[in-house]
Chains A and B, each alone.
Chain A
Amino acid sequence: MRGITKRFPGVVANEQVDFEALEGEIHALLGENGAGKSTLSNILTGLYRPDEGEILVRGNPVAFHSPRDAIEAGIGMVHQHFRLAASFTVAENLVLGHRDAADRGFLLEPRVIQGRVAELARRYRMPVDPGARVWQLSVGEQQRVEILKALYRGARILILDEPTSLLTPQESKNLFETLRLMVAEGRTVIFISHKLEEVMAVSTRVTVLRQGKLIGTVLTKETNPRQLARMMVGRDVVFTQKKEAVAQTERDVVLDLRGVTALSDLGTLALQKVDLTVHAGEIVGIAGVAGNGQRELAEVITGMRRLTSGTVSIAGRAMRSGDPLAAIQQSVSHVPEDRMGTGVAPSLSIADNLVLKSYRRAPISPQGWLRAGRIRANAVDLMRRFNISAPGPQTPTRLLSGGNVQKVLLARELSSRPKVLVAASPTRGLDVAATDAVRGLLLEAAARGVAILLISEDLDEILALADRIAVLYGGRIMGVVERQKAVVEELGLMMAGAA
Chain B
Amino acid sequence: MKKPVRLAATMLAAAVLGACGTTNSTTSTSQPFKAAWIYVGTAGDHGWTQAHDDGRKLVEQQLGTGVKTTFKENVPEGPQVEQVVEDLVRDGNKIIFATSFGFQDAMANEAAKHPDVKFEQATGFKTASNLAEYFGAAEDADYLTGMALGAASKKGKIGFVAPFPIPEVIREINAVALGAQTTHPGATVQVVWTNTWFDPTKEKQAAQSLLSRGVDAIGQGQDSPATGEAAKAVGVKWSGYDSDQSNVAPDIWLTGTVYHWGPYYVKRVKEAMNGSWKTGSYYGNIGDGMIDIAPFGQSVQQSVRDQINAKKEALKSGSFYEFTGPLKDQSGAVKIAAGTKMTLAQILSMDWFVQGVIGSPKGG
In the complex, A touching B, CB below 8 Å?
no
Interface residues of B (CB under 8 A from A): none
